[in-house]
Amino acid sequence: MLNAIGGVELSSVAKGMEAADAMLKTSDIKLLLSRSICPGKYIILVAGDVGAVNAAVEAGSAKAAHALVDSFVIPNIHPEVFPAIEGTTAVEGLEALGIIEAFSVSALVEAADAAVKAAPVKLLEVRLAMALGGKAFVTLTGSVAAAETAVNAGAAVVAKKGLLVEKVVIPQPRQELLRELIY
C-alpha cells in the first residue's frame, strides 16, 4: 500500500545511484524517481508502507554520507501528491493560483503535502528541479482563502528549513496560464 513517500537528495550523482540501490535492497518499496537534477544533484523518491519507506530512507541517507543534502519521510501522504509529481493531474480550470517555490526538492514535496492537507485545494503539479537550477515548485488551485491557507502552510514547512524561495497567490488568474502550468 502506498501510504507513505520518502526521499533522499544528494550532492553527488555517483553517491545517488549507490544510495538508490541501497534503498531498493533494504525494503519493499516502489521507486517513483531516481535521477540527476540540476545543478549536479541526485534525487530518489520512493513510496510504500511507512515502515518500508522509513527503512529505505535511513539506508539511503546512511549510504549518502557526506553527499546528503536533505531527506524526508511523509507518512499518510495525501493522495493528490502522487499525480502532481507524475504530472498526471487533470484540471478543467483555475480558481486562485497558489505557488510555492523552494531551493530543495525534498522540502518542496513536504510542502505540497502540507498545503493540500491544510485547505480544500487541488494540486496541479509538483515540478522537481529539471531546468530550474535545482529548485522546485508546486502549483495549486482553489478559492482565494483556501489557496492562501494552503500556500502559507506549505511555505512554513520550507521556511523552517531555510529553503523558501517565494510564495504567491494569484486571485482570478487568466486561464491562459493553465496551459503553461502542466507540461
| Residue type at position 33 | L
Burial class (CB in 10 A: 0-12, 13-18, 19+), 160: exposed
Q: What angle do CA 148, 4, 153 make, to 5 degrees?
A: 15
Residues 151, 96 within the same domain: yes
Q: How many domains does the chain have?
A: 2
CATH number at residue 87: 3.30.70.1710
Residues 124, 68 within the same domain: no
Residues 95, 63 within the same domain: no
Report CA torsion sign: 172, 183, 135, 49. positive
| Average pLDDT per 10 consecutive residues for the chain, totaling 183 residues | 90 96 96 87 94 97 95 92 81 87 89 96 84 81 96 97 94 78 54
Residues 85, 143 within the same domain: yes
Give the model confidence (pLDDT) of 86-128 as tens digits: 877 777 778 899 999 998 888 899 999 999 999 999 999 888 7
As a whole number of angstroms, the distance between CA 100 and CA 145 comes to: 16
Residues 65, 92 within the same domain: no
Residues 96, 148 within the same domain: yes
Residues 55, 117 within the same domain: no
pLDDT at 182: 53
Cell 488568474 sits at which residue? 173
Give yes or no for a contact between 29 and 7, defined as CB atoms under 8 angstroms apart.
no
| Residue type at position 56 | A
Residues 53, 91 within the same domain: no
pLDDT at 176: 78
HSE-CB of 2 using CA atoms within 13 angstroms:
15
pLDDT at 38: 80
Boundaries of domain holding 13: 4-75
Residues 61, 98 within the same domain: no
